[in-house]
A and B are shown apart, each in its own frame.
Chain A
Amino acid sequence: MNMWRNLKPYLLVLPAISVIGLLFFGGFLLGFLESIGLYSLVGEREISFQPYVDLLQNADFRRSILYTLRITALSTLLSAFVGLALGLSFIQMKGIGRRILQFPMLIPHLAVAYLVALLLMQSGWISRLLFAFGWIDEIQDFPILVHESFGWGIISAYVWKESPFIAFMLVPVLLRIQDQWGQVARILGAGRWAYFREIVLPLLMPSWLAASFIVFAFKFSAFEIPLLLGVTYPQMISVFAYQLFSGDIVNERPLALALNILIAFITALLGLLAYRLSKSWLGEESRGWN
């Protein structure tokens, strides 16, 4: 009886754990073994960390990492602020407005990439509309927003897609902030901005940071949007990995897998950082809740 009670919760999570364990950690382990040459599809088995050394010495790899970090950081920063604004306006809205805000979350990333390309290309819908209205003389006058190395297309696709996600991570917190607090603050002489800065923002901070880190970690390794909206060179890290992986199956596989292990490692590090940060914020700030 007692035994059963102790065992029950473990048994209930068993299906989920075994799927994750096998598919995720199993795949990760195999990838790692193959990247160091212990599990090669063809040829000799021989432990070697050469793929990692080769990668770190590869100028394209370093450039790709920096490029990825730049685009990811920029789009995360934008998403965070747009998401905050959306979250604040969401709790004021009802009905149709809320639906519209939720809409981007229903669209898969692949479709978002395609939509952005259709809209923002020089021969895209917006450009052709402007041309039809006579606001530009030629469709080539429309600024180049997709397939350019700064990454505007990638950034706008991510901001459109991830801002609502951040907003919805904030909504539960915003709903818990009681109206009376604002009134009390006003009686005590705080303006709207002071109330926001002193009361709302600190309460939002943990969720806001956590959401932004999740978005950052996700974008860092996401693939579809950079492939469809990026340029041939430089490439974002996931596209670089894909190209390595799909190139020479036999010789470059360890290199591609080593790269993927590195990506997973960096992403895990980011996750850990997010966890630590939100925890330390919660430790100090959550006392106000009760």
Chain B
Amino acid sequence: MKKNFRKYAMVGFICALGLLTACSSDSKEPVAESEQPTEDILALNWEQITEQAKGQQVNIYMYGGSDTTNRYLDEWIKPRLQEEYEVDLRRVPVSDIEETINQLLVEKKAGKETGSIDLLWLNGENFRTAKSNDLLWGPITEKLPNFNEYVDGEAADIQFDFGIETDGLEAPWGKAQFVFVYDQDKVAEPPQTMEELKQWVEENPGKFTYPSPPDFTGSAFIRHVLYETTGGHEQYMKPFSEEVVGNWQPMWDYLNEIKPFLWREGKTYPENSAKLDQLYSNGEVWMTMGYDPAKASNEMMKGTFQDSTRTFVLKNGTLANTHFLAIPYNSGKQAGAMVAINFLLSPEAQITKFDPQYWGEGMVLDMDKLSDEQRQQIEAIDRGVATLSNEVLSDHQVPEIPAEYVEALEKQWHEHVAKP
């Protein structure tokens, strides 16, 4: 009895010790470094901000699954930022920025004053969650010289992110557009509308599929079906309403009608767009898709896609969106993060990004605000044989719908389509 008691006392003592040491080490950790009250930085002028940014290490949390994006940041952006502004940009790869938003939510709940996340690459649903839970610091855009000088701040795709006002809490970084990718040796005439796509799918059983939502690309494919089967995108440009979701039967019908003719007869879907790309490069399916007009050219350059690969957009347009950079509410390096964003918005950084050698992604700068020399530089860039011209792309754009619709769509797809 006595022995037992001692044993328990010992265990209790040790647990308490463990908790104590854990707590004390935790509370010591963050402080140090430049601990400026956050409001101050927004009141400073740009010289003072760059001065304060010197020597700061900025952690950018971003999707890490793309070679080209990673190389652009590590090999082109990082050394220049270090040299010109003494800001050390450290890329923290995540598989989905939603994890980072989750982490911020937890940090907010736990009252963590200084987090390790200084910059975020996000848009859509994640911006909505971040904004509605006050996870972002700002407004920042009005402070950024390159934003004021080169970006059209009045444009709808910069003021709104999936139907939500950006309010300057996030700065645009790039523009993407959805394109379909096909093998011109196997698909002579790419379909122009969803109705034609359906015909093609029925005539070529097993040669088409799309990634299952919540995969980003798969979800975007379904939004195209939504637009074309329910009468265009205009009706969705208003705030979310449950009633509208009730009228989605034509979309579910369409998806279920093509289902028996899909790869594996629709009994299963690729779990992400990488898997679909793999099926395409193996020749198992003849079309793939992506929210990046330059992707096909990039993959051809790497040798993963056949040389006969080309891209197309629908006659009524494909989705286009802007993605953004934002600073979390509890970053201790706001100055460094702002300098980094400003540099990423500079014409030289944006033009380099536009070059498929680096990434090939669309710019957020207003062409009218660039110099002749810069415009010539842009025109000289070879975007690859599979990339559609800027005119074709920009003439065939439709906007994104409010993030709530996207969520409803992804959730209901499993009910309406995935179940046998």
**Residues 1-33 of A at the B interface (beta carbon under 8 Å):** 6-7, 10-11, 14, 17-18, 21-22
Q: Is A249's CB under 8 angstroms from B129's CB?
A: yes
Q: How far is the CB of B367 from chain A (nearest CB, A)?
A: 37
B22, closest chain A residue (CB)? A22
| Binary flags per residue of B280-311, CB closer than 8 Å to A gives 1, else 0 | 00111000000000000000000000000000
Residues from chain B with a CB closer than 8 A to the CB of A105 are: none
Knowing A140-B206, A247-B214, A247-B411, the reply to whether A232 touches B418 (Cβ < 8 A) is yes
Question: Do B212 and A232 touch across chains, with their CB atoms under 8 A apart?
Answer: yes
In the bound complex, residues from chain A placing their C-beta under 8 Å from that of B109 are: 39, 41
Q: How many residues of A contact B (CB 8 A)?
A: 34
Which A residues lie within 8 Å of B269 (CB)? Answer: 232
- Of A81-89, A94-102, A143-151, A200-208, the one with at least 4 CB within 8 A of chain B: A143-151
Asked if A231 lies at the interface with its beta carbon under 8 angstroms from chain B, I say: yes
Assess whether A233 is in contact with B14, with CB atoms less than 8 Å apart: no
Do A233 and B414 have beta carbons less than 8 Å apart? yes
Whether a CB of chain B sits under 8 angstroms from the CB of A243 is yes
**CA–CA, A22 and B20, complex, Å:** 11
> In the complex, what residue of chain A is closest to B264 when comparing beta carbons?
A147
Bound Cα distance from A231 to B268, whole angstroms: 5
Do residues A233 and B419 form an inter-chain contact, with CB atoms below 8 A? yes
Q: Encode contact with B along A249-277: 1 for CB under 8 Å, 0 otherwise.
A: 11000000000000000000000000000
From the candidates A17, A230, A248, name the one contacting B407 in the complex (CB within 8 A): A248
Q: Min CB distance, A131 to chain B, in Å?
A: 11
Which residues of B have CB within 8 Å of A6? Answer: 6, 10
Q: Are B268 and A21 in contact (CB under 8 A)?
A: no
Q: Tell me the smallest distance from the CB of B381 to a CB of chain A, in Å.
A: 34
Residue A209 at the B interface, CB < 8 A?
A: no
The answer to whether A228 has its CB under 8 Å from any CB of chain B is yes
B194-221 contact mask (Cβ, 8 Å, vs A): 1 or 0: 0000000000001000001010000000
Which partner residue on chain B sits nearest A40 by CB separation?
A: B109
* Residue in B96, B105, B268 whose beta carbon sits within 8 Å of that of A246 in the complex: B96
| Contact of A121 with B by CB under 8 A | yes
Show the binding face of A for B, using Cβ within 8 Å.
6-7, 10-11, 14, 17-18, 21-22, 39, 41-42, 121-124, 139-140, 144, 147-149, 227-228, 230-233, 243, 246-250
Contacts A/B (CB < 8 Å), 6 sampled: A18-B17, A21-B19, A121-B284, A232-B414, A233-B419, A233-B420
